[in-house]
Amino acid sequence: MTTEKNASPCKILITGSSGSLGSILTEYFCRKEISVVGIDIVENDKSPDSNNFTFYRESVRDIKKMEEIFFHENPTHLIHLAWSYNRLRDQKEEYENDVTGTKNILDIADRVKSVKQFTFFSSASAYGAWSDNYLWMPEKQELRPGEYRYGINKKSVEELLNQYISKNGIKINILRVCTVVGPHYDKKRSAVSILIKFPFMMKVSQSCELQLLHEEDLFSMMDLIVNDQTISGTYNIAPDDYATVKELVPDKPYYPVPIRLIKAVFGILWNVRIINLHPSCLNASRYGIVIDPSKFVKRYNYQ
């Protein structure tokens, strides 16, 4: 085992640090001169050139490597963002990466006495896109991800975390985050990318509601969470408003394309890896998922 380093007042370990959210959070905390440890299976060429940042190119599925990193770095906070995000196209492997990988690092973190807080980024998509969705769904709303594997695995991890009993008293937070946007956030082949780049939209999408959280709000919210020694539980992370697709892209043509045809096209694009959205998530283009952030807002009087 590698010799342990001296623990700092705050050291944040971010899994999935090379991903879209991981990279902007890494850069943000480093800019605040907070020590950040990044773990990812790929290295991001945009990673901050900072003495505050240490990167490990490893998989959260490698228990031995994770143990070495955790016991060497002694992080105080863990932000878990490592996720397959539909890239693997293999249901079993995605489950191993998303769910078993989460269990691995949580068990290890619970054995490292320095770790006080575990924050898991779930998703608003875990609620599921359904015709009977209503506006401002609270955290107690049933999760119905349907056949969408991304949402199914998010739900599975939430169930794991809610049942977990920490021996070391780690505060566990589940953040159901809506779509994040901003000048530094760029998730290629995502729903927002499609919204911007597609030459036309389906007519049934016109009234679909979307919530978009600016990255600066995400930074402010994470500041509050990281500095809160008592927070635990599940929180919707979203703005207190929404927009329809028509309001966001009013100048695009809207055609009455049959949903079955669109699903067939998405199936082809999915299989050839042009898009990262499985056809099962197409309901999200018809039925909005508008979540209620009031629990978080009231805790911090956040605006």
Structural contact between residues 166 and 116, judged by C-beta atoms closer than 8 angstroms: no
Structure tokens at 243: 């927009």
| Dihedral, CA of residue 34, residue 38, residue 42 and residue 48, to nearest 10 | 10
pLDDT in tens, 185-226: 766 656 677 788 888 888 889 999 999 999 999 999 999 999
What domains does the chain contain, in order, with CATH numbers?
11-178+214-237+292-300 (3.40.50.720)
Distance of alpha carbon 7 from alpha carbon 4, whole angstroms = 9
Check whether 6 has a pLDDT greater than 70.
no
Three-state secondary-structure class, residue 246: helix
Q: Kindly report, residue by residue over 24-44, the tens digit of the pLDDT.
A: 999 999 999 999 999 999 998
Range 71-94 average pLDDT: 86
